[in-house]
Amino acid sequence: MSAVPASHLSSVPQDTGEVAIRTAVAVLLANVRGEYNRLCLVDDLEDLASDSRADEAEVLRTIASQVRRLVKM
């Protein structure tokens, strides 16, 4: 299993929510193989966000944007 290098996850997290999001991103990227599949995951997260409550949607969009940014690196 390939892990996301810590250097790709930015600086020190500000709070436990940020830690949870970074952990989720790292786990997702470690378990989803291939750029196409990872970009499909981003689409699925964004679709899920559109059907979620505002606070959940914000978290899902944040995860999706971080996954997209890391996939394009």
Looking at the predicted structure, is the pLDDT value of residue 29 above 60? Answer: yes
Helix (H) and strand (E) counts in the chain: 3, 0
Residues 12, 16, 19: CA angle, nearest 5 degrees: 50
Looking at the predicted structure, is the pLDDT value of residue 5 above 80? Answer: no
What's 51's DSSP letter? T
Q: What is the band of 40 on the pLDDT scale with cuts at 50, 70, 90?
A: very high
Which amino acid does the sequence have at 73?
Answer: M
Question: What's the rounded Cα separation, in Å, for the pair 70 and 4?
Answer: 9
* Under 8 Å between Cβ of 3 and 26: yes
Rounded to an integer, the average pLDDT of 5-17 is: 61
